[in-house]
Amino acid sequence: MKYEALTFTIGDLPGISSKTIENHLGLYEGYVKHVNLIREKVAAFSSDMENNAFAIAEMQRRLGFEFCGMRNHEYYFAQLEGGPKALPEGPLREKIESQFGSFDEWVESFKFIAKTRGIGWVMLYHDPQTNQLAQTWVDEQHLGQLADLDIILALDMWEHSYMMDYPSGEKGLYVEAFFANVNWEVVASRLT
């Protein structure tokens, strides 16, 4: 089975240019392409595992990066479809307010994580075992993903997400623009 790149309908986003979105979508399609390519090559090399052990191992190692790049972007772009919408009343709002005091307090803590130096993602997760939210920085695409937790909100903090619109020293403006464009109905639906 091959993975297919999803299509996203993203209108004009105040603070995030259509050129940035267009280039970013192209990068996402590259992740999908490379996931498929790695899987094909591993299958081909597996006919002689002993002689191809090193190559197979390195491709498997790379698969985690490419696969998480594909999936993280699917969460990211889906949150920007349909225009900005407020967080509705319901389980996500209640859980945020219960754990963080208020929605605004949570947003500030998430934005603080987003200003971490380096490339990666900021993720808000739901832990189905404890029914709690957790948030963290994920290096690159995959290092630090929290195992067996459901992604609720994904914020891409690689330079390709904002450098056409903001210099690196102003990535906080990109974070503000992201929050101004989130469709919280999509995000909230991930918890139910």
Amino acid 114: pLDDT: 97
User: Are residues 162 and 136 part of one domain?
Assistant: yes
State which residues form the domain around 123.
91-189
Q: Say if residue 128 is in the same domain as residue 185.
A: yes
Length of the chain: 192
Q: Do 134 and 44 fall into the same domain?
A: no
- Residues 109, 184, single domain; the answer is yes
Q: Which of 186, 121, 123 is nearest to 160 (CA)?
A: 121
Q: What's residue 144's pLDDT?
A: 85
Both tokens of residue 133? 């939210």
Q: What is the pLDDT along the chain (192 residues), one digit of tens a residue?
A: 999 999 999 989 999 999 999 999 999 999 999 999 999 999 999 999 999 999 999 999 999 999 999 999 999 999 999 999 999 999 999 999 999 999 999 999 999 999 999 999 999 999 999 999 999 999 998 888 889 999 999 999 999 999 999 998 899 999 999 999 999 999 999 997
Domains held by the chain: number: 2
Q: What integer pLDDT is reported at residue 51 of this predicted model?
A: 93
Q: What is the pLDDT of residue 107?
A: 98
Rounded Cα distance, 37 and 86, in Å: 39
Give yes or no for a contact between 163 and 171, defined as CB atoms under 8 angstroms apart.
no
At residue 22, the pLDDT reads 97
| pLDDT for res 145 | 87
- Residue 122 DSSP SS3: strand
- pTM of the full structure: 0.94
Point out the domain boundary residue: 78, 105, 123: 78
pLDDT of residue 142: 86
Query: Phi then psi for 134, rounded to 5 degrees?
Result: -140, 145
Amino acid at site 88: P
Residue 43 inside a domain? The answer is yes
111 found inside a domain: yes
State the burial class of residue 98 (Cβ atoms within 10 Å of its Cβ: 0-12, 13-18, 19+): exposed
The enclosing domain of 132 has a CATH number of 3.55.40.20
pLDDT number for residue 48? 94
The dihedrals phi and psi of 152, each to the nearest 5 degrees, come to -105, -45
How many secondary structure helices (H) and strands (E) does the chain include? 6, 3
From residue 42, give the alpha-carbon distance in Å to each of 46, 52, 68, 113, 141. Answer: 6, 9, 18, 36, 21
Helix spans in 46-165 (H): 53-78, 91-100, 103-114
